[in-house]
Amino acid sequence: MPQQLTEIVNQEFGGERPLYRTRDLKLTGVTIHAGESALKETQNIHANRCTFEGKYPFWICDGFTVRDCLFRPGARAALWYSKGCEMTDSTVEAPKMFREMDGIKLRNVRFTDAGETFWSCRNIEAEDISAEHGDYIFMHCSGIKIRNFHLKGNYSFQWARDIEIHDSILNTKDAFWETDNVTVYDSEINGEYLGWHSRNLKLVRCHITGSQPLCYAEGLILEDCTFGPDADLAFEYSSVQADIRGAVPSVKNPRTGRIVADSYGEVIIDENIKAPADCQVLTR
């Protein structure tokens, strides 16, 4: 039998822990004003058309949905140490959202200040997401599947693992540093120093811009990718299998593997190349 929900409609709460340790609630048109931890230690909460203005509203929550809601800038660090969250059709104006969480599903969510959002979270599914000012987003996360993600923010996905991204535009310097098992399909990745020190990074039909991409990588694969004119000094000290359409501005000291492109502006192989120093750089 479905659990009977207690419904709270068009009410306002503020101060310290007004709905602490409640469970089985449906909140409709509710406003959470300034204060802290409005829904801490709760279970089975459903928020619809609500506005959150105070800090830390959803901490240590077990199973909750957020639909057509607004998180104002004061609602920073709103979702931490929780599991089983579904958020749809919502706007988040506050930074530092989603920390130490497991089981997150997002659809049609806009983050206007996504700095330090999604840290140490597991099992994330997201579709139709935009994030602005998203520096250090998705740090130390795992088990991520994303489709149609528009990101503006640097240092994304650092130390993350087991990621699949589709149909996205990522404007981000220093993306995918120290990552494990990342695959990106049909996307545009703009920013310097892409994928340094990554392991098993695979890019399929992606367009890459920004200086010095894909250096110090292990197990790097590119399939049918294209490079912008500023994507120079690529693949330094990487082990790589790459099939690139069009021109590559320059390649520098790839360590091992095979690179095929239509043309190269420059291929730099000098005395600093690292063993086994047997990468084939070929023209199609």
Give percent helix, percent strand, percent coil of the chain, each to the nearest 5: 0, 50, 50
Both 113 and 136 in one domain: the answer is: yes
What whole-number distance in Å separates Cα of residue 164 and Cα of residue 91? Answer: 24
When divided into structural domains, the chain yields a total of 3
> What pLDDT, on a 0 to 100 scale, did the predictor assign at position 210?
98
Is the same domain home to 276 and 260? yes
- For 18-35, how does the pLDDT look when each residue is reduced to its tens digit (9 = 90+)? 999 999 999 999 999 999
Does 83 lie in the same domain as 29? yes
Please state whether the peptide bond connecting residue 276 to the residue before it is cis, i.e. omega within 30 degrees of 0.
Answer: yes
Kindly give, in sequence order, each residue whose CB lies less than 8 Å from that of residue 197, ignoring residues fewer than 6 positions away: 177, 178, 216, 217
* DSSP per residue, 200-255: EEEEES-EEESSS-S-S-BSEEEEEEEE-TT--SBTTT-EEEEEE-SEES-EE---
54 and 88 together in one domain: yes
In terms of domains, do 160 and 195 share one? no
Kindly state whether residues 49 and 10 are assigned to the same domain.
yes
Same structural domain, 39 and 71:
yes
What pLDDT does 187 receive? Answer: 98
DSSP letter assigned to residue 74 = T
State yes or no: pLDDT of 65 exceeds 50. yes
Find out whether 142 and 162 touch, Cβ atoms under 8 Å. yes
End of a domain among 147, 172, 197? 172
Question: Is 190 found in the same domain as 137?
Answer: no
Average pLDDT over residues 202-223: 98
Instruction: Please write the tens of the pLDDT for every residue from 158-199.
Output: 999 999 999 999 999 999 999 999 999 999 999 999 999 999
Average the pLDDT over 33-45 and give the result: 96
- Whether residues 181 and 280 share a domain: the answer is yes
Section 1-11 average pLDDT: 85
Q: Which residue has the tokens 């207690």?
A: 6
**Which tens digit of pLDDT belongs to each residue from 91-150?**
999 999 999 999 999 999 999 999 999 999 999 999 999 999 999 999 999 999 999 999
Closest to 129 in 3D by CA, of 116, 143, 145, 142: 145
- The domain in which residue 163 lies consists of 103-172
Q: Choose the final residue of a domain: 74, 94, 114.
A: 94
- CATH code: domain of residue 88: 2.160.20
Confidence check: pLDDT of 37 > 90: yes
Q: Are residues 182 and 278 in the same domain?
A: yes
| Rounded Cα gap, residues 256 and 91, in angstroms | 46
Per DSSP bridges, beta strands 256-261 and 83-92 are unpaired
If asked whether residues 86 and 18 sit together in one domain, one would say yes
Q: Would you state the pLDDT for residue 2?
A: 54
- Give the separation between CA 126 and CA 97, rounded to whole angstroms: 14
- What b/e readout covers 214-247, taking b as 16+ CB neighbours within 10 angstroms? bbbbbbbbbeebbbbeebbbbbbbbbbbbebbeb
Final residue before a domain boundary, out of 125, 154, 172: 172
Task: Provide the pLDDT for residue 3.
Answer: 72
If asked whether residues 74 and 147 sit together in one domain, one would say no
Residue 1, pLDDT > 70, answer no
